[in-house]
């Protein structure tokens, strides 16, 4: 029974990787760099994007992943950022993550020729989004200080999957019983190669470094 | 393709419900009331349990669900609460939720005769845990004010699945741009019947009401 289940999961991930490569070919053909942005629910991905997308030196768009609704897409669209909403609840069984096939279904709605950078804002979840490549060039995650220091130990695959960990909500540090050094040490245990940057998406502190990282990824690829 | 996928999901949920009923029969036979406690990662489930389990008038134990590790179980065990750890990463493919079969696999490790109440602390995730009944009598979720007011609109199934929504981290309200009335109104949109209670697991404010709710569920069933 267990072996059958592992085989089903492996087959699904294998099919996903095939479609991810097809997405990647399409992105390459249009010279679009793609960043897969992940986090727990409410860690601040959208607020962070609101802060940085306007001031970017490259042309950026967003593919917004949610189980249902378009709350985050509406927020970004009001800033005149090109946004396409992808709901996992409509036709995809309410999945807790984006996969390559869902992203592929959104490609016809994306004006790739008008973009240098596409940020895919994944469904808020620290488990499954890390397992499904979608054709991205780089992966980043947002981890907020209100979530506690132990998250890299409890969800190591997510931290291991990302090149960059953005530690958000640092404006709240003085009001928490929170050991920032311990979080950074735990991130290093899960992923010694991860780049770490500190921000407050609410006050704007440190967001320039994330904006520079996004622009750097777009230029470097 | 889509119809096949829906059928596979329906079959899996159907099998899950069958096993959940078997779990429920076992819990009933031992007179144990079971609460399935869910939330996003870092919302404060374990800190809340640390606050309330000691002062309970009924004999309580915890089944601790995590992808890997036993960090939360160790915290609770140090308070002399009977705890059994269930890892979804070992033998269950790293699932992002507990299902009835996983809970069933843990039953032999639980001294049900010594318990009146079993709290199942689910994997931190606002999507899939709501889809899988595990044989529980009641479901509660923790939603922290640092996650934003929009979570009931983005993850309505989770809020709909729960009898009680515990709004945590209210000690941080004065430091946030956060509209508590809006969150409560959004919870009512997702689930008009949900009971809502405000707590700070950190300071202890309001935790008595959650302790009373747990004791009440255990006595009522």
The DSSP letter of residue B108 is G
Distance from CA of A129 to the nearest CA of B (A): 10
Sorted by sequence, the CB contacts under 8 Å of residue A116 that are 6+ apart come out as A31, A32, A33, A58, A59, A60, A218
Taking the C-alpha atoms of residue B108 and residue B34, their distance in angstroms, rounded to an integer, is 16
Backbone φ/ψ region at A151: left (φ over 0), alpha (ψ -120 to 50), beta: alpha
Judged against a pLDDT cut of 60, whether residue B213 lies above it is answered with yes
- The dihedrals phi and psi of B79, each to the nearest 5 degrees, come to -95, 10
Q: What confidence score (pLDDT) does residue B3 get?
A: 59
Cβ within 8 Å, pair A42-B41: no
Chain A hits for B95, Cβ within 8 Å = 127
Sorted by sequence, the CB contacts under 8 Å of residue B139 that are 6+ apart come out as B35, B36, B37, B38, B161, B162, B163, B164
Cβ within 8 Å, pair B155-A71: no
Range with lowest mean pLDDT among A80-84, A92-96, B6-10, B97-101:
B6-10
Taking the C-alpha atoms of residue A162 and residue A159, their distance in angstroms, rounded to an integer, is 6
What confidence tens digit (pLDDT) does each residue in B129-140 have?
999 999 999 999
Cβ within 8 Å, pair B125-A123: no
Q: What confidence score (pLDDT) does residue A128 get?
A: 94
The DSSP letter of residue A149 is T
Q: Supply the ipTM of this predicted assembly.
A: 0.91
What is the secondary structure of B129-160 as a DSSP string? GGG---S-SEEEEEEEGGG-TTHHHHSHHHHH
Instruction: Identify any residues that bridge with A30 across adjacent strands, giving them in sequence order.
Output: none
Q: What confidence score (pLDDT) does residue B12 get?
A: 79
Cβ within 8 Å, pair A128-B96: yes
Chain B hits for A147, Cβ within 8 Å = 41-42
Q: How many CB atoms lie within 10 A of CB B11?
A: 10
pTM for the full predicted model: 0.94
| Cα A15–chain centre separation | 21
Mark the ranges of chain A whose per-residue pLDDT is less than 50.
Answer: 1
From the CA atom positions of chain A, what is the Rg in Å? 17
């Amino acid at each position: 029974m267990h072996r059958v289940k592992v085989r089903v999961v492996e087959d699904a991930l294998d099919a996903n990787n095939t479609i991810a490569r097809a997405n990647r070919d399409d992105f390459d053909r249009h010279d679009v760099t793609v960043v897969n942005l992940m986090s727990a629910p409410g860690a601040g991905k959208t607020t962070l994007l609101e802060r940085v997308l306007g001031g970017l030196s490259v042309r950026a768009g967003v593919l917004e992943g949610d189980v249902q609704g378009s709350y985050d897409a509406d927020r970004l669209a009001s800033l005149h950022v090109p946004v396409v909403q992808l709901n996992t609840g409509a036709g995809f069984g309410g999945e807790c993550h984006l996969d390559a096939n869902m992203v592929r279904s959104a490609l016809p709605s994306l004006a790739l020729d008008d973009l240098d950078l596409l940020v895919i804002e994944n469904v808020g979840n620290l488990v499954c989004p890390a397992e499904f490549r979608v054709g991205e060039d780089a992966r980043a995650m947002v981890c907020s200080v209100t979530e506690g220091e132990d998250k890299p130990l409890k969800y190591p695959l997510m931290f291991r999957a990302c090149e960059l960990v953005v530690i958000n909500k640092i404006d709240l540090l003085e009001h928490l019983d929170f050991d920032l050094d311990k979080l950074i040490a735990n991130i290093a245990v899960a992923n010694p190669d991860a780049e770490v940057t500190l921000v407050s998406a609410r006050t704007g502190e440190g967001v320039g470094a994330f904006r520079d990282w996004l622009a750097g990824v777009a230029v470097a690829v």
